[in-house]
Structure 1
Amino acid sequence: MTAAPAGRPRDPGVDERITRAAAEVYGSEGWARFSVDAVARRAGVGKASIYLRWPNKEALLAAVFASRLAGVQDIDTGSVRDDLVAMARQVLHAFLDEAGGAMLRLMLEADGIPAGREHLDRFLRSQATAARAIVHRGIDRGQLSRDTSVTLLLDTISGGALNHALVAPAPLRGKVAAGADRYAEELVDFVLASVTAPGRGTSPPAAVSRPDPACG
């Protein structure tokens, strides 16, 4: 007969509360004022509960980045427009959801935080990988012209999503987040109007895009 393990098992609800609080503290205060004390107060737990799970504030914040700032997934819907909307929605929610403030902070402070640059680069690489796959599929299906630039498409959609989050006033962030899915559709439709030839899904004429080595 196997003996029961000593001690009480960890409560995943507490883990969730702590990482959510850590994301909020980092997003509002930055790395310089990020502390286990502040996270414990925000989460409503004792510091011992945090140290039971993570040895220091560096490990705690790394756990936040790993679990709450997931990368962008490539979603193949069969339509280049819908694929790009799915990508744009993921980027918008990364900036606007409860951990959005942490994502915005990380973009400013990544080089000064242990493992910060690694996590930011992982997120950015996932965007580029998803965008490249979407554009190549769109070209193969005849939904995009062959000279469509992955770089310009990614810069425009991801840059638009980032700017949308940055300019949202703090009191209205909840409302902006609630409208993020619709905004993603409007943003993608606007961008596609300049890169989609007539008869491929949008009516405006295609503009000539500069060739992109990433599409080669």
Structure 2
Amino acid sequence: MNELFNFTEVFDNLDKILSGFWATIRLASVTAVLALIIGTVLVSFRVSPTPVLRGVGTVVVNVLRNTPLTLVALLCVSGLSDVLKVTFSDTPSVNGYWWAVTALSVYTGAFVCEALRSGVNTVPLGQAEAARSIGLTFGQSLRMIILPQAFRAVVGPLGSVLIAMIKNTTIVAAVAYGVDAVSEMKIMFFDLGASLPIFIGFAIGYLILTLPAGFFFGWLAKRMAVAR
């Protein structure tokens, strides 16, 4: 029983655990910014008055949302990088990192798009009509009137997407990057043997990453709520 709950191995390898989580934080941070940009572009397509743009946005979002993240990551690494030789760097670790970012950003961007589209639907139609009546183009009304209100309305759902993205780093990093927290856990399991304390240590690490984010976005959603 004492061996089962002996956390000495966790403390002895704390530097490796922290290094793995730092890699996860870097991956998640860059992905969050890019996914937000991609999602904003996609939602502008989906609510566009141009049928072609709406069609493109709908197809891209539906394909990504219904495709497993593992397949998206494998397409980027095995298809685009290995077969087509599209690389970000000649250094394998750097190339793997940016393909992991690309796969996770594009995949998460589809969910950001749908969250934002639900926020767009909360904006009264009269405001868009008023914007057109004073001569604003679709792009101007989207940028200055619709999207600011949509973002405020969906802070909570966007927080949920972010938390899911943090957990999804374990999938995409295993396929394309291999330097994140879970990769370090696998190495420790291989070197030291699988043990409950190591698993609990990494589980606590992910809780430390995700729980504060959940509380923060919950607080921010209440603070930014639009009174109707």
TM-score after normalising by structure 2: 0.28
Q: Larger relative contact order (C-alpha < 8 A, sep ≥ 6)?
A: 2
